[in-house]
Amino acid sequence: MTSTQDNVMFDQALSDYTSEFAEKPFLHKEFQYVIDNNGSDDYSRNQLIFETISISNNGKFADYKNGFISIPMVAVMSRSDEHQTATEGANGLKFKNSNLVHIDSMAVEYGNDPVIQQRQNFSAYCIFKQHTELSLNDVEINGPTIGYRKDSNEWDFNDVTGVENNTTDLVSPFTYYSPQQQKLMSNANVRRSGVNYYEKVGDEHVYYYDCIIRLKDLLFFDKMPSLLRGANIKLTLILNQSETVVKVAAGVKTHVTNTLRGSINPILRTNEDIIAGKTFNETMSCKVVKNGAHSHVKNQCRLYVPTYILSPTFEEQYLNLGQKKIIYEDIFTNNVIVKANDNFQILLTNSLSRMKRLVIVPMIDKSANGSTLNAPQESIYASEPCTTSPTFIRDFNVALSGTNLYSNNIQYKYESFLNELNGNFGVNSNLETGVCSSLISMDDYNNNYGYIVVDLSRRYNFDEKTPLSVEIKGFNEGAKQLQFMCFITYTKEMTVNLNTGARIE
């Protein structure tokens, strides 16, 4: 129901009157950080471990939901012939469309008990959630902080490099000042400030990037209580770092070689600097803290958490709640192959309970993605797995323990979009005009955002804990063999003591 202008005005008047005399709930607030356990600026082992002992022992209330991780990245781009290199400036190299792509997998322990198991490629699911839950205002205000932007609908297929999702220029996240601007603010000062920064050093283009990842964009943390004291958490992240060499002969890409730590290439490159008739090798690499002779101004990764001291009245009121049940989401993953121009019937799991939804990220299979045989998620020219490959699946259905979820198979893409995806995960599920928070339109869905989504939650409450099998079936209309990156989300729960942070069960 929409409030009238008179109602809103009167509510504001009451708020103005009461807020003047209201007691403040917090006496102190500060961001505290812990440094990862790596112990040096060498992150070649490709793993981050954060333990929150120092925060859990300080007696303050911590808000993990609104904490964030800072990962200093250094990317370097160079060519074998410098006169053919990309235009000097910050526009040569970018990253795929969310900072989450720099994480390959995550594990969480709470009080030495595992709550989230490591699942490879889990960032693809978290980025899907961003696509479907963020609003345009979120992208405008928070996009630069979390590295999120929406890729275009443009795509092409190259016989050598395979699917290419971005053929036009992308917005650069890096700061670069012209010689005139440097009279006011030097680039050296910009780098020391920790801002995402570009510089040219000899024949190399160097990009310093502070990769910010909000905890609420990850599994488990988005459901944690906003105030928790004494919680001892261990967070383990496996990263995505890469080095790519592109060979160009007479202006045509002939070969691409990837060396990956993790399973996803975080770099995204456009075709704008492939110069007609020129022959060269282009090398691009992305590493944490240090890349060759270049080091980020921050030499360690950090986990920041806001902490609070409550006023006695509010602390007593809050602790009287006693305990909090946390119902959170975990994922089961399965990657399967779907042949070109063929039927498929694939069992994803034979026993899983408390399932909520199935999300499939369809991508062209490595064996069919151009002559270089790089999977789209490994490619610097494709936005996958932050998006999907353009595909068309007909006669699609899901069987739960042998019973079809849809009485009629899904024949057309618009059916799946309107029934399962169109704003379903945002505010009010796009059912009220004027309130919409999904970023995927019908045009997007028909091109690079063709996620296959199925609601698995519709059942009686007493059936929640009944294990079911999940089978998918349909027909791949495309001319290329596909890889389905499948995520089944299911709920888990735990109860914590709000005063001590101890896990009760």
Note the pLDDT of residue 292.
Answer: 93
Describe the chain by its helix, strand, coil percentages, rounded to 5. 20, 40, 40
Q: What is the pLDDT of residues 437-458, one digit of tens each?
A: 788 888 888 889 999 999 998 8
In whole angstroms, what is the distance from residue 351 CA to residue 359 CA? 17
The per-residue pLDDT for 331 is: 95
- Taking residues 295-319, report their average pLDDT: 92
Chain segment 61-72, per-residue pLDDT in tens = 999 999 999 999
Give the pLDDT confidence score for residue 152 in this predicted structure: 81
Radius of gyration of the chain (CA): 25
What lies within 8 Å, CB to CB, of 308 at 6+ separation is 26, 28, 29, 60, 61, 62, 63, 227
Considering only residues 179 and 430, tell me which one the structure prediction assigns the higher pLDDT.
Answer: 179
- Position 168 scores a pLDDT of 57
> SS3 for 311?
coil
Give the three-state DSSP class for 471: strand
Query: What is the predicted pLDDT for the residue at 20?
Result: 56
* Contact present, 353 and 500 (Cβ < 8 Å): no
Q: Which band of pLDDT confidence, cut at 50, 70 and 90, is reported for residue 15?
A: low
Query: In this predicted structure, what is the pLDDT of residue 248?
Result: 86
| pLDDT tens string 129-175 | 999 988 888 899 999 999 998 888 888 888 888 898 865 556 677 77
Comparing C-alpha atoms, which of 91, 21, 9, 3 is closest to residue 272?
A: 91
Where do the structural domains in the chain lie, given as residue ranges? Answer: 22-497
Work out the pLDDT band at 1, boundaries 50, 70, 90: very low
Mean pLDDT of the chain: 87
At residue 202, does pLDDT exceed 50? yes
- What pLDDT, on a 0 to 100 scale, did the predictor assign at position 167? 56
Higher pLDDT pick, 87 / 328: 328
Structure confidence by residue, pLDDT tens digits, 77-122: 988 875 455 555 556 788 998 999 999 999 999 998 999 999 999 9
pTM recorded for the entire structure: 0.89
Phi/psi at 444 (nearest 5 deg)? -60, -45
Residue 273 has pLDDT above 70, yes or no: no
For 26-72, how does the pLDDT look when each residue is reduced to its tens digit (9 = 90+)?
Answer: 889 999 999 999 888 889 899 999 999 999 999 899 999 999 999 99
Lowest mean pLDDT among 152-156, 180-184, 375-379: 180-184
Instruction: Enumerate the β-bridge partners of residue 259.
Output: 243
Distance of CA 305 to the CA centre of its chain: 20
CA separation for the pair 75, 56 (Å, rounded): 35
In the predicted model, is pLDDT for residue 17 greater than 90? no
